[in-house]
């Protein structure tokens, strides 16, 4: 009887949905609220596997197909990272940097970041090619703790001494496979040189060619590899 009651209890106490699956990561309540407002019930697989190590400060390479939720895999911990640091002043460079292969992706990532950062008053700036360089330069100094940039335009600002990346301690290379295909390897290396060695480095990609493995060895510290599925 007791045994059956236990079995019954076990059956009922087993979560039928993944309620609470977000809560185990200790995100600020503002972020958890945004997840629920978006209608998200649980982390995607890549988020579930990446958030633990990223929130612990580990370097990480995350590989999962397009549409699997990689943006939030690095955006939510970026907000936590920034939230734990001292506020930056106007004129300071960013604390977190994301490089994206295209203007469209940079803008989309910035929008997603601002959505989750807004309730905590954490904002991003965005710089990319194809628009006036003078107009965008001031975006580098508005005191926003996150900068999202395409590599070409960021290199332009680095060369003219306008980009200040010495405070960056959370660095993400998104769509690294695409970035390497587009010939941005040297640009990435140049950007890395501008950032202090006391940083967390993350890479995200839909595929995992040898070139990513090679580049990761150059500037990541014992990175965790998280692969979902067999790649595209």
- Which positions touch ligand ADP (CB under 6 A)? 40, 43-44, 47, 64, 66-72
Of 158 and 226, CB closest to Mg ion: 226
Closest approach, Cβ 28 to Mg ion, in A, equals 23
Nearest residue to ligand ADP on Cβ basis: 71
Measured CA to CA, the distance from residue 114 to residue 116 in angstroms comes to 6
Strand bridging mode 170-173 / 200-205: parallel
Burial of 146 per CB tally in 10 Å (0-12, 13-18, 19+): buried
Q: Which entry of ligand ADP, Mg ion, none binds 195, CB below 5 to 8 A by partner kind? A: none
Interface mask (CB under 5 A) for Mg ion, residues 65-104, using x and -?
Answer: -----x----------------------------------
The length of the chain in residues reads 232
Of 158 and 203, CB closest to Mg ion: 203
Of 70 and 144, CB closest to ligand ADP: 70
Closest approach, Cβ 10 to ligand ADP, in A, equals 27
Of 18 and 159, CB closest to ligand ADP: 18
* Sheet of 224-227, strand order: 124-127, 146-149, 96-99, 170-173, 200-205, 60-63, 224-227
Of 70 and 167, CB closest to Mg ion: 70
Measured CA to CA, the distance from residue 180 to residue 211 in angstroms comes to 8
Task: Answer whether 228's CB lies under 8 Å from 49's CB.
Answer: yes
Closest approach, Cβ 108 to ligand ADP, in A, equals 7
Closest approach, Cβ 66 to ligand ADP, in A, equals 4
Angle between helices 185-194 and 151-159 (to 10 degrees): 50
DSSP 41: -
Decide if residue 144 touches Mg ion (CB under 5 A): no
Q: Which residues bind Mg ion (CB under 5 A)?
A: 70
């Amino acid at each position: 009887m007791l045994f059956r009651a236990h079995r019954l209890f076990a059956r009922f106490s087993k979560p039928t949905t993944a309620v609470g699956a977000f809560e185990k990561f200790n995100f600020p309540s503002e972020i958890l609220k945004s997840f629920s407002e978006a209608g998200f019930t649980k982390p995607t697989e890549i988020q579930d596997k990446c958030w633990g190590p990223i929130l612990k400060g580990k370097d990480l390479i995350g590989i999962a197909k397009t549409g699997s939720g990689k943006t939030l895999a690095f955006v939510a911990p970026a907000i936590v990272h920034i939230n734990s640091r001292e506020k930056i002043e106007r004129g300071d460079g960013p604390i977190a940097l994301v490089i994206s292969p295209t203007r469209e992706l940079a803008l989309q990532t910035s929008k997603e970041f601002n959505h989750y950062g807004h309730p905590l008053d954490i904002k991003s700036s965005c710089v990319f090619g194809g628009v006036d360089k003078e107009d965008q330069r001031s975006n580098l100094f508005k005191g926003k703790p996150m900068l999202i940039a395409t590599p070409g335009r960021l290199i332009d600002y680095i060369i003219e001494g306008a980009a200040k990346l010495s405070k960056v301690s959370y660095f993400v290379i998104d769509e690294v496979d695409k970035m390497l295909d587009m010939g941005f390897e040297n640009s990435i290396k140049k950007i890395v040189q501008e950032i202090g060695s006391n940083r967390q480095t993350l890479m995200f990609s839909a595929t995992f060619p040898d070139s990513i493995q090679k580049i990761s060895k150059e500037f990541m510290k014992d990175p965790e590899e998280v692969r979902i599925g067999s790649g595209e």
